């Protein structure tokens, strides 16, 4: 039985932490933090410098002069002693421009990992440990690709629905209003969050059909109808195997459960195995 509020979507009920951290590299934030730290150091030195006179026989500059010198003020009043004419300035005193930072483009795997990290909640209490269990537990097993997305709402909770173009169905009958497509429900994301991240690789999906999932968990008919035509990933992360350069890439390659045992295997060979095992339920249905 699902314990969360019945008005929440299946995805929203799965977690209170609605958004995984954004691990994208932001070099401009690194630069801003460095400049801010330098300013704080200069300010502390300026405030701690004596404002009147130092030990006998010494000459102490004002705090304004210290701060001005640290910040690169070229005026004579900003120096700690006699001003240095420009002709006598050492080459080392020349201010160098900050080199530009080149950000390496993401690889196909990195881009896909960044994309999926924004979509799914935490671990599901239901787990499978073999390919046979995954096939038996899924309502739909299919090959497909992402084609777009739209904002949605279930019981006042925001969700995102991705359109998946179906290449081949191995188990189940796709429930959809548009032929050869299904809707995959995920946590809500925005265009800016996944800009340039939408995967183009073929993916082997093991999916739950939300109305059937809710029925199995004792939810009423009206709850099932609220998420009609929606699919979710089997156990949130176990139902995804991606074709990256001809090899299987899973979402949790270090997890001992399914499908981590197929990480790095030939994608076509794994698909052939799933296709063969699925024939015990029904014949594959190329679209």
Could you report the per-residue pLDDT of 56-67, keeping only the tens digit for each?
444 444 444 444
Q: What does the domain layout of the chain look like in residue ranges?
A: 27-93, 106-286
pLDDT > 70? residue 112:
yes
What pLDDT, in 10s, does the model give residues 191-206? 999 999 999 999 999 9
Q: How far apart are CA 182 and CA 211, in angstroms?
A: 14
Compute the residue count for the chain: 287
Q: How far apart are CA 116 and CA 39, in angstroms?
A: 39
How much is the pLDDT for 282?
59
Q: 16-20, 56-60, 134-138, 186-190: which range is least confident on average?
A: 16-20
What pLDDT, in 10s, does the model give residues 204-231? 999 999 999 999 999 999 999 999 999 9
Its sign, for the CA torsion 235, 240, 241, 244, is negative
Other Cβ atoms within 10 Å of 31 Cβ, number? 12
Q: How far is CA 124 from CA 2, 10, 14, 16, 58, in A?
A: 12, 11, 7, 13, 72
Q: Could you tell me the end-to-end alpha-carbon distance of the chain, in angstroms, rounded to an integer?
A: 35
Q: How far apart are CA 51 and CA 62, in angstroms?
A: 6
Helix (H) or strand (E) segment spanning residue 13: helix 10-13
What is the secondary structure of 62-131 as a DSSP string?
-HHHHHHHHTT--SGGGSSSSPPPGGG--GGGSPPPPPPPPPPPPPHHHHHHHHHHTT--S--S----SH
Instruction: Between 63 and 238, name the one with better pLDDT.
Output: 238
- Tell me the mean pLDDT in the region 26-46: 37
Helix (H) or strand (E) segment spanning residue 206: strand 203-209
How much is the pLDDT for 254?
85
What pLDDT, in 10s, does the model give residues 132-176? 999 999 999 999 999 999 999 998 999 999 999 999 999 999 999
Strand pairing category for 181-186 and 230-233: parallel
At the second CATH level, the architecture of 106-286 is Beta Barrel (2.40)
How much is the pLDDT for 44?
41
How much is the pLDDT for 1?
46
Average pLDDT, the chain: 76
pLDDT > 50? residue 106:
yes
Q: 């390496």: which residue's tokens?
A: 104
Instruction: Between 99 and 53, name the one with better pLDDT.
Output: 99
């Amino acid at each position: 039985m699902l314990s969360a509020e019945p008005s929440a979507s299946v995805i929203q009920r799965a977690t209170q932490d609605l958004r995984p951290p954004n691990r994208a590299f932001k070099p401009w934030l690194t630069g801003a933090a460095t400049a801010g730290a330098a300013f704080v150091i200069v300010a502390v030195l300026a405030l701690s410098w004596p404002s009147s006179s130092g030990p006998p026989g010494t000459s102490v500059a004002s705090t304004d002069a210290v701060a001005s010198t640290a910040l690169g003020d070229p005026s004579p009043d900003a120096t700690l002693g006699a001003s240095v004419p420009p002709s006598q300035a050492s080459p080392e005193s020349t201010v160098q421009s900050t080199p530009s930072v080149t950000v390496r483009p993401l690889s196909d795997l990195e881009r896909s990992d960044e994309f999926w990290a924004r979509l799914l909640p935490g671990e599901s209490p239901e787990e499978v440990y073999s390919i046979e269990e995954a096939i038996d537990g899924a309502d739909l097993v299919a090959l497909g690709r992402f084609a777009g997305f739209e904002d949605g709402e279930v019981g006042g909770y925001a969700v995102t629905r991705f359109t998946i173009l179906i290449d081949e169905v191995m188990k189940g009958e796709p429930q959809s209003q548009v032929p050869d497509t299904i809707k995959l429900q995920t946590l809500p994301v925005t265009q800016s969050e996944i800009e340039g991240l939408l995967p183009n690789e073929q993916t082997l999906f093991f999916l739950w059909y939300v109305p059937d999932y809710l029925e199995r968990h004792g939810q009423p008919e009206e709850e099932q109808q609220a998420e009609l035509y929606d699919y979710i990933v089997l156990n949130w992360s176990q139902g995804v195997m991606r074709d990256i350069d001809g090899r299987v890439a899973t979402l949790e390659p270090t997890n001992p459960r399914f499908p981590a045992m197929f990480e790095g295997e030939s994608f076509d060979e794994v698909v052939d195995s799933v296709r063969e095992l699925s024939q015990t339920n029904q014949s594959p249905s190329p679209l």
